[in-house]
């Protein structure tokens, strides 16, 4: 039997929900054996395609796809300057595709290669939002009626921009193409979006959770994403105010640039903290985990370089009592969601999985997309990652065109100054 070799590596770009997704396909000299991996960096997708096809592909052609770790290290070190979301996403596409191939060759789902199942399915949290607290409550009730036990709640601030609710600026959550939010190029005096107003947000969030606890009771698990929008000291104040509402976790209270504030946050409150979707480098999470400054590590697996590094991160976190909550928005492809899930069901220190409910079009483009039942996410038992791509259909959903090419539009304060997203 001839040795298995990589014969082709290419990126597939598709946007079945209007959100730019990048998937890497690795082909081999055995035509039925190919692998798929997620390389989605929705704000800079074409840079990832270029990094993959120009710089990684030549190192991969002819190699044995079984050598995942050696290929990973070779590609990782080949740029001398390492990490960053572009190189990491390209590397993740390759890495996940190699795990997919290994699983297919072994005739086993990837979770078996990771040590086997420790749970039947992954508990998920889903998103409730609304224009006011009543609407958030109704949305949450609807989700609870569908069997969801963990709900992230975000409320609109009337007249202002916010994250994760209507009037917000986030495209991925709403499944709305980015161009819907972009009228014309913003100037300093003329923001295209509603402005951001910190103190209104800081007043609104405790009221939201007071209302939800009063109306929904104690049993439902509630979560909230600050999305790094307030200053460190304001985040500490908000975390302390929210403690009484017993959140499952408070997400991204601080920006990666402000991780030095975590010890202060931790000393002030016992609210469970989730952090990390913007991390791209091991030095960003090492101290937070080893000093037990967070409770959930929720990196975007393709942004840190793929499944190989994520499984090491999960094992590292386990030793310090930190649980996993991998980032799972609409700008992770169904293949990336499957990679999250294979780790979820094989990691002892799994905490929770963020859910994105893919629409029917995305499910047709990606047959095998994980299924949601009883508030949980279920992995299929197909060999590999278990998700395929219908390339002909994928081509019918090209990237939406607009002037920012996927970049997020600026969010501004009333005085016109730009804030973090
Ligand atoms: C989340 C996130 C996302 C990001 C998005 C950016 O917790 O799900 O914050 O919705 O904003 O992935 O592209
Ligand atoms: Mg988030």
| For ligand 1, atom 1: residue with the closest CA | 329
CA of 228 to the centre of ligand 2 (A): 9
Catalytic hit among 163, 201, 248, 296: 163
Catalytic hit among 181, 227, 337, 342: 227
Q: Is 173 in the pocket of ligand 1 (CB under 6 A)?
A: yes
| For ligand 1, atom 2: residue with the closest CA | 329
Q: Is 176 in contact with 211 (CB distance < 8 Å)?
A: no
State the Cα–Cα distance between residues 325 and 275, nearest whole angstrom: 9
Point out the ligand nearest to the CA of residue 20. Answer: 1
Residue 311: is it exposed, middle or buried by C-beta count within 10 angstroms (0-12/13-18/19+)? buried
User: Rounded to a whole number, what is the distance in angstroms from the first to the last CA of the chain?
Assistant: 53
For the ranges 90-99, 133-142, 176-185, 396-405, which has the lowest average pLDDT? 176-185
Atom number in ligand 1 closest to CA 152: 7
Q: Is 100 in the pocket of ligand 1 (CB under 6 A)?
A: no
CA of 227 to the centre of ligand 2 (A): 6
Q: Is 329 in the pocket of ligand 1 (CB under 6 A)?
A: yes
Residue 192 in 3-state DSSP?
Answer: coil
CATH number belonging to the domain at 122-382, selected among 3.20.20.120, 1.10.10.10, 3.30.70.3270, 3.20.20.80: 3.20.20.120
pLDDT of 52 over the 70 cut:
yes
Residue 271: name the closest of 290, 254, 257 by CA.
254
Q: Is 225 in the pocket of ligand 1 (CB under 6 A)?
A: yes
State the Cα–Cα distance between residues 370 and 181, nearest whole angstrom: 29
Point out the ligand nearest to the CA of residue 303. Answer: 1
The length of the chain in residues reads 421
| For ligand 1, atom 11: residue with the closest CA | 170
Q: Is 95 in the pocket of ligand 1 (CB under 6 A)?
A: no
Residue 187: is it exposed, middle or buried by C-beta count within 10 angstroms (0-12/13-18/19+)? exposed
Which band of pLDDT confidence, cut at 50, 70 and 90, is reported for residue 421?
Answer: confident
Q: What pLDDT, on the 0 to 100 scale, is given for residue 124?
A: 98
| For ligand 1, atom 9: residue with the closest CA | 227
Q: Which two tokens stand for residue 384?
A: 């590999």
pLDDT of 192 over the 80 cut:
no
CA of 225 to the centre of ligand 2 (A): 6
State the Cα–Cα distance between residues 367 and 371, nearest whole angstrom: 11
- Whether residue 227 lies in the annotated active site: yes
CA of 172 to the centre of ligand 1 (A): 7
Q: What angle do CA 254, 126, 247 make, to 5 degrees?
A: 50
Compute how many other C-beta atoms are within 10 angstroms of the C-beta atom of residue 196: 24
Compute how many other C-beta atoms are within 10 angstroms of the C-beta atom of residue 115: 12
Q: Is 331 in the pocket of ligand 1 (CB under 6 A)?
A: yes
pLDDT of 235 over the 60 cut:
yes
**Domain boundaries along the sequence of the chain:** 122-382
Q: Is 305 in contact with 328 (CB distance < 8 Å)?
A: no
One DSSP character per residue, 334-399 reads HHHHHHHHHHHHH-TTB--EE-----HHHHHHSTTPPEEETTEEE----SBT-----HHHHTTSPP
Helix axes 85-106, 68-77, angle to 10 degrees: 170
| % of the chain residues with pLDDT over 70 | 93
Which band of pLDDT confidence, cut at 50, 70 and 90, is reported for residue 184?
Answer: very low
Residue 52: is it exposed, middle or buried by C-beta count within 10 angstroms (0-12/13-18/19+)? buried
Mean pLDDT for 97-114 is: 98
Atom number in ligand 1 closest to CA 227: 9
pTM: 0.94
Q: Is 45 in the pocket of ligand 1 (CB under 6 A)?
A: no
Which band of pLDDT confidence, cut at 50, 70 and 90, is reported for residue 408?
Answer: confident
Atom number in ligand 1 closest to CA 173: 10
Q: What angle do CA 284, 290, 292 make, to 5 degrees?
A: 100
Which band of pLDDT confidence, cut at 50, 70 and 90, is reported for residue 416?
Answer: very high
Q: What pLDDT, on the 0 to 100 scale, is given for residue 167?
A: 55
State the Cα–Cα distance between residues 178 and 180, nearest whole angstrom: 5
- Whether residue 160 lies in the annotated active site: no
Q: What pLDDT, on the 0 to 100 scale, is given for residue 87?
A: 98
Q: Is 354 in the pocket of ligand 1 (CB under 6 A)?
A: yes
Which band of pLDDT confidence, cut at 50, 70 and 90, is reported for residue 314?
Answer: very high
Q: Is 156 in the pocket of ligand 1 (CB under 6 A)?
A: no
Which residue bears the tokens 């709305």?
176
Atom number in ligand 1 closest to CA 408: 13
Which band of pLDDT confidence, cut at 50, 70 and 90, is reported for residue 405?
Answer: confident
Mean pLDDT for 329-357 is: 98
Mean pLDDT for 379-405 is: 93
For the chain, give the mean pLDDT: 93
Q: To which H or E segment does residue 97 belong?
A: helix 85-106
State the Cα–Cα distance between residues 286 and 313, nearest whole angstrom: 9
Mean pLDDT for 258-277 is: 98
Q: What pLDDT, on the 0 to 100 scale, is given for residue 1?
A: 64
Ion ligand 2 neighbours (CB, 5 A) are 225
Q: Is 172 in the pocket of ligand 1 (CB under 6 A)?
A: yes
CA of 97 to the centre of ligand 1 (A): 24
State the Cα–Cα distance between residues 139 and 152, nearest whole angstrom: 11
């Amino acid at each position: 039997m001839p040795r298995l070799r990589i014969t082709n590596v290419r990126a597939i770009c598709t946007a079945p929900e209007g959100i730019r997704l990048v998937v890497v396909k690795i082909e081999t000299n055995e035509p039925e054996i190919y692998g798929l991996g997620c390389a989605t960096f929705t704000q800079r997708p074409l840079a990832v395609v270029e990094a993959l096809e120009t710089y990684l592909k030549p190192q991969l052609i002819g190699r044995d796809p079984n050598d995942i770790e050696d290929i990973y290290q070779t590609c990782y070190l080949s740029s001398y300057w390492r990490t960053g979301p572009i190189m990491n996403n390209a590397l993740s596409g390759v890495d996940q595709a190699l795990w997919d191939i290994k699983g297919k060759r072994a005739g086993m789902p990837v979770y078996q290669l990771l040590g086997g199942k420790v749970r039947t399915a992954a508990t998920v949290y889903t998103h409730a939002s609304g224009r006011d607290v009543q609407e958030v409550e109704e949305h949450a009730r609807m989700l609870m009626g569908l069997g969801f036990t963990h709900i992230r709640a975000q409320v609109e601030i009337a007249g202002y921009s916010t994250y994760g609710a209507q009037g917000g600026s986030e495209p991925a959550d709403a499944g709305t193409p980015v161009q819907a939010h972009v009228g014309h190029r913003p100037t300093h005096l003329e923001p295209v979006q509603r402005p951001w107003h910190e103190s209104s947000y800081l007043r609104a969030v405790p009221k939201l959770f007071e209302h939800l606890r009063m109306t929904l009771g104690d049993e439902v698990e509630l979560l909230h994403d600050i999305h790094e929008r307030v200053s460190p000291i304001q985040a500490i104040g908000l975390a302390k105010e929210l403690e009484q509402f017993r959140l499952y976790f408070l997400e991204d209270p601080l920006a990666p640039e402000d991780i030095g504030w975590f010890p202060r946050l931790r000393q002030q409150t016992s609210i469970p903290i989730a952090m990390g979707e913007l991390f791209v480098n091991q030095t960003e999470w090492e101290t937070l985990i080893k000093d037990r400054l967070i409770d959930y590590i929720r990196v975007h697996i393709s942004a840190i370089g793929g499944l190989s590094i994520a499984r090491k991160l999960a094992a590292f976190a386990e030793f310090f009592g930190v649980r996993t909550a991998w980032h799972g928005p609409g700008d992770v492809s169904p293949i990336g969601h499957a990679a999250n899930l294979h780790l979820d069901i094989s990691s002892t220190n799994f905490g929770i999985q963020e859910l994105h409910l893919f629409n029917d079009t995305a499910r047709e483009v990606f047959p095998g997309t994980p299924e949601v039942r009883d508030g949980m996410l279920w992995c299929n038992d197909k060999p590999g990652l278990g998700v395929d791509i219908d390339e002909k259909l994928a081509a019918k959903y090209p990237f939406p065109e607009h002037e920012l090419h996927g970049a997020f539009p600026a969010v501004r304060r009333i005085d016109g100054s730009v804030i973090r997203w």
